[in-house]
Amino acid sequence: MRTDTRKRLQRGFSLVEVMVSAVVFSLGLGGLSLMMLTSVHGTQKAQDQTVATLQASSLAELILMNPAATGHYINPVPASGEDCTSAAGCSSAAWAAGNLARWQFELEQNLPGSAALVCRDGTPDDGQAGDPACDGAGSAVVKVFWADPHLTAETNDGAQRVVVQVEP
């Protein structure tokens, strides 16, 4: 047999082919890991958004259940010594103070590092944790602020906000 014929009959991969396939495989795994990381971050962001929305809606419902104390929710005063777990036998301000304290505790447990307030605001979809931009006009709103550490400075240092209007 001739040498040319023998070379053509040999089967297998060259080192260059193996290296190219290793690079392609590595790029594929890198893309897959990036996709999984993005998915985990998106899930956490959605969970934070859901918790903030549920908490804000919960406080709005508490305010609607005790409309006489709306001013207390807007300008909270420290709770008195009485422990009010229901409206029966409690003043509306004491019941509101107890509800607000429990609500703030639950918010901190479910969304650490968050801040929230109730205010009157004619333009509710503005503001941030340090400056909620409540103008004192319009209806009462619940604003919940938190920071998403994965967002960059391009989006206001990761500041997130949920606003729920208290509808009578």
- What integer pLDDT is reported at residue 167 of this predicted model? 80
Confidence of residue 138 (pLDDT cuts 50, 70, 90): confident
d(CA 41, CA 34): 11
20-75: pLDDT as tens digits: 999 999 999 999 999 999 898 888 889 999 999 999 999 999 999 888 888 888 88
- What integer pLDDT is reported at residue 50 of this predicted model? 93
Q: What is the DSSP string of 86-121?
A: SSTTS-HHHHHHHHHHHHHHHHHHHSTT-EEEEEE-
Confidence of residue 94 (pLDDT cuts 50, 70, 90): confident
- What integer pLDDT is reported at residue 7 of this predicted model? 61
What does pTM read for this prediction? 0.72
